């Protein structure tokens, strides 16, 4: 593999997660993103109370993302071999934390209505 292309990344993710699960995750991410943008446009402001609760959920999202990837790749934390592996695990945790915050904020806004 001489070049890292978008197609290569998709092929790797499909290999790790399986084709069906990968594309279900992509669809879920798109739906949550569209719902989040809808909430932001609808409310025209960010509710700090909902934002705080969303931030408090971030550690759960970080741990869940790392555990999910470890289960899918049949690996454990003891398999981390060097700095690049640690950077990848931290990146997965950051993406999981941000995703959880967006999901929680969006769910709160859709279930409770406009911001207070």
Per-residue pLDDT of the chain (116 residues; tens, 9 = 90+): 578 889 988 998 899 888 899 999 999 999 999 999 999 999 888 889 999 999 999 999 999 999 999 998 888 888 888 888 889 999 999 999 999 999 999 999 999 876 55
- The pLDDT score that the predictor gives to residue 31 is 96
In the block, residue with structure tokens 């289960």: 71
Q: Nearest 5 degrees, angle CA 61-CA 62-CA 68?
A: 85
């Amino acid at each position: 593999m001489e070049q890292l292309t978008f197609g290569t990344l998709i092929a790797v993710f499909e290999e790790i997660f399986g084709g069906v699960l990968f594309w279900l995750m992509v669809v879920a991410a798109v739906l949550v993103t569209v719902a989040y943008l809808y909430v932001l446009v609808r409310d025209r402001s960010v509710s700090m109370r909902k934002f705080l609760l969303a931030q408090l959920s971030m550690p759960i999202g970080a741990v869940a993302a790392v555990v999910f990837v470890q289960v899918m790749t049949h690996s454990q934390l003891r398999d981390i071999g060097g700095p690049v592996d640690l950077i990848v695990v931290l990146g997965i945790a950051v993406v999981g934390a941000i995703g959880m915050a967006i999901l929680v904020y969006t769910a709160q806004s859709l279930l409770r209505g406009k911001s207070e």
